[in-house]
Chains A and B, each alone.
Chain A
Amino acid sequence: MPESTAESRLGEPQDEGLFIEKEVTVLGTVESAFQRFTEGIGSWWPLATHAVSPDDADTVIFQTWVGGRIYERQKDGAEATWGTVTAWDPPRRFAMTWHPGGDAGSATRLEVQFDEVEEGTRLRLRHTGWEVLGEEATETCRQYHKGWDPVLARFALGSGGPH
């Protein structure tokens, strides 16, 4: 029940005040989905549009252990770190910091969970840790949070963004 999830977060501390949650259901076992999402990330990540240097990015590498890095390797061999694995529980869940193009000090947090469903595997992605935006921004997040719930609910229901 995604709607009630957003609802229940309203009273929580600023840490969780703003979060983004996405779900997608794919074919295959959790093992297969988990493996492709992590170790196999280089085979599907849309680097042409989503990379620190879209013009130079060659591939993405996911080091599959706690403390491992997720980074983009560029054509000249240079690397740009996207984040670091903080929890590794294959094939159910992993968590990482998220700071592509920025330093670790401004990292947000990403958690991805894989669950078996009738059609295959349901992936749930949660992007939290927006308190790094700073005090003023966090205050704003809290004020806006209520206003964001309907927006979130719409996304959660799968109507998608303005594509």
Chain B
Amino acid sequence: MSTYPKVLVALSDPTRRALFEKLRARPRSVGELASELPVSQPAVSQHLRVLREAGLVEWQALGTRRVYRPRADGVRALRAYVESLWDDVLEAFKLAQDEAEAGKPGHE
């Protein structure tokens, strides 16, 4: 799980998360991604580079175009991300719920 921190950083950015979600739906070129999101083409390329370095996406040459798609190994990285998401969320929930309940009459 050496890619774990890189993946978290890569997916901590909303634009990159949106790009990754798009590619999960189907492979797309940089141009397509730029036309579907309010982000310039150079910015898309930059974000894709981060996602690629985190092992989340890869590209394939299709004629003169580069088509990006989620990388198989990226699934493992994604899993680590989702695991940590629910760990954080449930921890926050437990904190709030326990605190509220402990404050109720009848509790120490």
Contact = CB atoms under 8 A, between A and B. Distances in A.
Interface in B73-99: 73-76, 78-80, 82-98
Interface in A31-64: 32-33, 36-37, 43-46, 49-50, 52-54
B22 A102 contact: yes
A140 B70 CA distance: 12
A102 to B, nearest CB: 3
B14 A54 contact: yes
A162 to B, nearest CB: 7
B53 interface: no
B97 A26 contact: yes
Interface string A104-118: 011000000000000
B102 interface: yes
B75 A27 contact: no
B59 interface: no
Interface residues of B, number: 42
Given A28-B100, A44-B96, A144-B76, A123 B18 contact: no
Nearest to B4: A162
Contacts of B72: 136-137, 139-140
Contact of A53 (B14, B78, B102, B104): B14
B21 interface: yes
Given A26-B93, A28-B100, A140 B75 contact: yes
A29 B77 CA distance: 36
B94 A105 contact: no
A140 B102 CA distance: 45
B65 interface: no
Interface of B: 1, 4, 14, 17-18, 21-22, 24-26, 69-70, 72-76, 78-80, 82-98, 100-102, 104, 107
8 contacts: A20-B82, A36-B96, A53-B14, A106-B25, A120-B101, A127-B82, A161-B83, A161-B87
Nearest first, the 7 closest Cβ-Cβ pairs linking A and B are A102-B21, A44-B96, A27-B101, A28-B101, A140-B72, A26-B97, A24-B90
